[in-house]
Amino acid sequence: MRDFQLPGRSPLYVSNAICATSHPVAAKVAIDTLEAGGNAVDAAIAGAVLLGLGEPAMTGIGGDMFALVKPAGSETVIGMNASGRAPKGVSAEALRARGWSAMDPEDANSVVVPGAVRGFERLAADHGKLGLDRLLAPTIRYAEEGLRVVPRAAFDWGRGEPRMRGAMRRHYLNGDKALKEGDLFRHPGQAEVLRRIAKDGAKAFYEGEVAEDMVSSLQALGAAHALEDFAACEAVYVDPISGGYRGAELVELPPNGHGATAILMAQILGQFDLTALDPLGADRAHLEIEAAKLAYAARDQAIADPDYMTMRIEDFIAPKLAKEMAGRIDRTRAMDWPTDPIGHPHKDTIYITVVDRDRMAVSLIYSVYHDFGSCLASEKFGINFNNRAAGFNLTPGHPNEIAGGKRPLHTIIPGMLKQDGRVVMPFGVMGGAYQPHGHVRLISNILDYGMDVQAAQDAPRLFRQDGVVGIERGYAREVWTALEAMGHRTGPREVAIGGSQAIWIDHERGLLIGGTDPRKDGMAHGY
């Protein structure tokens, strides 16, 4: 039990159904959807689409989506990959000829065909009850009437405004200035697009006037996108992968996401007795940092679009590899490691999890990648373009080298945890490259230290990026000193590391326990 004399938040305990996400209105929309007869899939989609309006720095219909779904009456988890592909006309050779040595996250060539809308349609048709038209209705209304800006969204607006260009400034600013907390954000262009999708399905997004707006806008900015690229977009079901940790099973999606990195890192840490260490001490932090170095370096060598990978994913998540890597860790000294995670640990993702009265569970993540994605938008409708192609590299022959029709390595990963064959926790951790580390940190806080789902998210975080271990203020100064003595370079975090949500399913007590990250403005809501 937390100390009620200190600031903090308690977990939510309910019996019937629950949602946890990063914006309070999105949580309400999800619960309203359940009370209107929808199931967890319906609620997750309705809430997620609203998040594109409430947190446009993080996500929007110009982005990608991944989901894990546990149907009612089953413990078999279904995976959904709704990530888009690079346009057929793009080539690494052409970009290198322009002088590029790496992808430019603010160039129109960093935009992949957005896959989220196709994924929402397929999930709603196959596993929902209400139909996509009813699920989009709340966001259509808020996009027309306006949604008040919450503090965290305002913070991100201020950071993103200097990077916005062209139509993005017209559709996402207020008189060419970032919106502030309490301002009313309207997006009539998005309302119109969603209205067309509600009437005619995803084809209204991937074909016709909306697609033409996106393609012409991208082409005018020098990108290679064509109408055929949008028409060919699809969302596909995939088989989840999993690995063991402390007697539990961590369930992730296979590549092109990097959930396998979380499994590898968890299995590396599984070789050590973390329960004997202070959860906020330097020794645990050191082991985490070293395990992450190894797992992320392996990721950067191997993980890509599965059609291009040269290493079998079964070998990547095999306990044998984790044990061998754990043997390289010195408990007292930081190792030199030349490869850092790609990209940046941005806060540019939303996550929503829902469990309904029938115990259908959904873990859904939806993103435009960097803050406001590419900071570019379509001219007429103001669809915010992702910059997911920044997840590619330009190394000749690398599995993740950009190519037409290829999916990039993706940082967003939904998760689930199983115990004794049953799903006990759908969860997700936002924060770009941090996410695999965050998955492991969250489940370790619960399984190794007995924290509840709220305390596990409240606990301070650290993450090594660009050779420096960024440390949140919740750590004691002695931890910084001890890590420096071990050979780590440390520094303060400019912003908090990511965000998260989780729901614990207590099957024996018929209880749902929800928690949501204080680094965002969201909530757990249920009944």
Question: Which pLDDT band, with edges at 50, 70 and 90, does 346 fall under?
Answer: very low
Quote the pLDDT of residue 410. 94
Residues in the chain: 527
Give the three-state DSSP class for 57.
coil
Cα–Cα distance list, 350 to 72, 353, 457, 515 (Å): 24, 10, 15, 15
Query: Is pLDDT at 343 greater than 50 in this prediction?
Result: no
Quote the pLDDT of residue 339. 53
Rounded distance, CA 110 to CA 331, Å?
A: 40
Quote the pLDDT of residue 345. 43
Rounded distance, CA 427 to CA 452, Å?
A: 13
Asked if 162 and 172 count as a contact pair (C-beta separation under 8 A), the reply is no
Answering whether pTM is above 0.85, one says: yes
Asked if 67 and 350 count as a contact pair (C-beta separation under 8 A), the reply is no
| Rounded mean pLDDT, 498-525 | 96
Q: Please name the residues in contact with 177: beta carbons below 8 A apart, sequence gap of 6 or more.
A: 161
H or E element: which one contains 511?
strand 511-516
Question: Which pLDDT band, with edges at 50, 70 and 90, does 348 fall under?
Answer: low
Return the percentage of the chain with pLDDT > 90, whole number: 94
Quote the pLDDT of residue 344. 42
Beta strand residue intervals within 233-388, DSSP E: 236-238, 241-245, 248-252, 349-355, 361-367
Which of 289, 306, 277 has its CA nearest to residue 434? 289
| Rounded mean pLDDT, 108-117 | 98
**What are 34-73's pLDDT values in tens digits?**
999 999 999 999 999 999 999 999 999 999 999 999 999 9
**What are 4-15's pLDDT values in tens digits?**
888 889 999 999
**What are 63-107's pLDDT values in tens digits?**
999 999 999 999 999 999 999 999 999 999 999 999 999 999 999
Rounded distance, CA 407 to CA 391, Å?
A: 9
| Rounded mean pLDDT, 514-526 | 95
Look at the alpha carbons of 264, 483, 495, 459 in this order and tell me if their dihedral is positive or negative.
positive
Beta strand residue intervals within 239-336, DSSP E: 241-245, 248-252
Average pLDDT value for the chain: 95
Rounded distance, CA 406 to CA 86, Å?
A: 5
Q: ∠ CA(287), CA(20), CA(433), 5° rounding?
A: 35
**What are 220-255's pLDDT values in tens digits?**
999 999 999 999 999 999 999 999 999 999 999 999
Rounded distance, CA 111 to CA 378, Å?
A: 12
Report the 10 Å Cβ neighbour count for 140.
21
Of residues 432 and 184, more confidence is placed in 184
| Rounded mean pLDDT, 435-448 | 98
**What are 370-416's pLDDT values in tens digits?**
999 999 999 999 999 999 999 999 999 999 999 999 999 999 999 99
Rounded distance, CA 518 to CA 9, Å?
A: 8
| Rounded mean pLDDT, 336-355 | 68
| Rounded mean pLDDT, 247-269 | 97
Quote the pLDDT of residue 338. 52
Quote the pLDDT of residue 349. 86
Dig out the tokens for 122 from the structure. 């397929």
What would the DSSP string read from start to end of 160-198? HGGG--THHHHHHSBTTB---TTPEE--HHHHHHHHHHH
* β partners of residue 333: 330
Which of 11, 17, 15 has its CA nearest to residue 41? 17
Query: Is pLDDT at 1 greater than 80 in this prediction?
Result: no
Quote the pLDDT of residue 436. 96
Give, as one character, the DSSP assignment of residue 373: T
| Rounded mean pLDDT, 23-34 | 97
